[in-house]
Amino acid sequence: MTGLGAHLDAVRARIDAAARAAGRDPAAVSLLAVSKTRPAADVRELAALGQLDFGENRAQELIGKAGELADLPVRWHFIGQLQRNKAAAVARLGAVVHSVDRTSLAQALSRAGEAAQRPVDLLLQVDLGGPEGELGARGGAAPDDVPGLADAVAELPGVRLRGLMAVAPRGEEPGPAFARLAALADRVRAEHPGAVELSAGMSGDLEEAVAAGATIVRVGTALFGRRPLASPHDT
Ligand SMILES: *Cc1c(COP(=O)(O)O)cnc(C)c1O
């Protein structure tokens, strides 16, 4: 088996073990392979092994790869900061947008979803703060603003509110941060029953995220190896 196949098996085994340890059904946690900076050939190889969800964090790279791989039944996810002027192109690809943190972006996606006659599935990105509790380090809406943002997004005709997403803060144990996220997700779901997804956990902390209830883990490094170059768009 090639390196990618072995890595995929290892990551799936980690997810299964974490789900079982938490008393959860492993099938309730889906793996999003974060293919940012990786060649389209790697995506093709993983797709042949049955991995069909892929995440990108730059619109240009997503558009290019989706074009090269248009023959594959892959589902694209957008996990980076999205400019409003790229919303339509991302929406046309049918991508799930995990990183909505303001109403203006949701409105742009809604217009794009209406134009494409296909609603855009989106998640609200939550800023879990830094080690001192400061916000703004890694993108996302402040937790206190999320319920109001969810209410506003739910009114838009061209999008569907599917849940919440977050990146664990640096320099803090991920478990308590993910627990705060899960509590916020419960609150949002009480008002918006379709907001079932919790996108949390990466290569280094997927176990803690699954324990807290993640339904989507976003894994790059553990699948593909270390990224060759740190890009300014990396989080
Ligand atoms: C790059 C990235 C990931 C994957 O991180 P790894 O540590 O490489 O697994 C997950 N989520 C977001 C938002 C990212 O930008």
Question: Ligand 1 in contact with 31 (CB < 6 A)?
Answer: no
Q: Which residues of 100-134 are buried (b: 16+ CB within 10 A; e: fewer)?
A: bbbbebbbbbbbbbbeeeebbbbbbbbbbbeeeee
Would the CB of 202 count as within 6 Å of ligand 1? yes
For ligand 1, say whether the CB of 58 is within 6 Å of any of its atoms.
Answer: no
pLDDT of residue 128: 93
* Mean pLDDT on 168-193: 95
Is pLDDT at 133 greater than 70 in this prediction? no
Least Cα distance to 181 among 194, 191, 169 occurs for 169
Distance from the CA of 202 to the center of ligand 1, in angstroms? 6
pLDDT of residue 231 exceeding 80, the answer is: no
- Calpha distance 199→131 (Å, rounded): 21
Instruction: With H, G, I as helix, E, B as strand and everything else as coil, classify residue 149.
Output: helix
Which of 38, 79, 81, 98 is the best mutation target for the ligand 1 pocket, counting ligand atoms within 8 Å of the beta carbon and taking the most? 79
Hey, what are 77's tokens? 């996810």
- Fold classification of 3-224 is TIM Barrel (3.20.20)
- Which neighbouring-strand residues pair with 69? none
* Mean of pLDDT values over 131-143: 73
Is the shortest distance between the CB of 125 and ligand 1 below 6 Å? no
State if residue 82 touches ligand 1 by the CB under 6 angstroms criterion.
no
Average pLDDT score over residue span 35-41: 97
Q: Break the chain down into helix, strand, coil percent, rounded to 5.
A: 45, 15, 40
Identify the CA nearest to 120 among candidates 165, 156, 147.
156
- What is the mean pLDDT of the segment spanning 223-228? 84
Q: What is the reported pLDDT for 229? A: 60
List Cβ neighbours of 230 (8 Å cut-off, separation of 6 or more): none
CA of 115 to the centre of ligand 1 (A): 30
Write down the mean pLDDT value for the chain: 93
Ligand 1 pocket check for 103: Cβ under 6 Å: no
- How is residue 27 annotated by DSSP? G
Which residue's alpha carbon is nearest to atom 13 within ligand 1? 79
Q: Is the CB of 174 under 6 A from ligand 1?
A: no
- φ/ψ of residue 8, rounded to 5: -60, -45
Which of 85, 131, 119, 81 minimizes the C-alpha distance to 101?
81
Closest by CA to 228, choosing from 38, 78, 99, is 38
* pLDDT tens sequence across 59-93: 999 999 999 999 999 999 999 999 999 999 999 99
Does the pLDDT of residue 230 top 90, yes or no? Answer: no
Has residue 131 got a pLDDT over 60? no
pLDDT at res. 235:
46
CB of 219 closer than 6 A to ligand 1? Answer: yes
pLDDT > 70: percent of the chain: 92
d(CA 194, CA 191): 9
- pLDDT of 111 higher than 70: yes
- What pLDDT does 233 receive? 53
